[in-house]
Amino acid sequence: MTETVATTDEQPASPSATEETYDVPADAETYDCSYCGRPFAREDWLALHRGLAHPNDLDDAEVEAFRAAHEDEEESLATFRLQALGALVLIYFGLLMIYALV
């Protein structure tokens, strides 16, 4: 059987794939990754990105920044989980009550 491109899952890049990946407004403040150049809107996002994408290249200060950003993230996630749980409870009991009434 001749192996054609179409029989594999991997697709060739279409022309539009070459277009820009980043779109930074002219007046925006950015924090650029020094390893891959990806821009971020917030400093702690850059710190997290460095730890996730380039874990073996970091110096001590960058490792420390990643740890701090990660801890902050855990805290805000805990808050979010509480809110999500609240929303779930609201949906559940809301529907339960409506079904009881209708």
Partner 1 sequence: MTFGRRHRAALAVCGLGLLAATGTASAHGGSLAGGGRESLTIPTWLFLSTGGAAVGASFLLASFVTDRAFIERIHGWGRPLSGEFERVLGLVGQLIGVVGLAAVLVIGFVGPTTARTNLAILLVWVGWWAGLAMTTYLLGNAWATLNPLKTLADLLPTLDRSYPDRVGSWPAVAGLLVLVWLEVVSPLADQPRLLASAVAGYSVVTLAGALVFGPDDWFTQADPVERVFRYYGRFAPIGRGEDGLRLRLPGMDLSTPRLVDGPDEVAFVVALLWVTTYDGLVTTPAWRDLTTPLVEPGVPPHLLYPVALAIGFGFFLGVYRLAVRLSSDISDTYLTPAVLAQRFAPPLIAIAVGYHFAHYLGYFLVLAPSLAVALASPFADPATVPTLELPEWFGAIALTSVIVGHLVAIWVAHAAAYDLFPARLQAIRSQYPFIAVMVFYTMTSLWVVSQPEVALPHL
Task: Give residues in contact with partner 1 (CB under 8 A).
Answer: 1-2, 4-17, 19-24, 28, 30, 38-42, 44-46, 48-49, 52-53, 73, 76-77, 80-81, 84, 87-88, 91-92, 94-95, 98-99, 102
Nearer to Zn ion, 54 or 95 (CB): 54
Nearest to 73 by CA among 55, 54, 47: 47
* 89 token code pair: 């409870």
Which position has the token pair 């277009």? Answer: 19
Q: Is 92 in the site for Zn ion (CB under 5 A)?
A: no
Nearest to 68 by CA among 88, 85, 51, 81: 51
From the list partner 1, Zn ion, none, partner contacted by residue 35 (C-beta under 5 to 8 A by kind): Zn ion
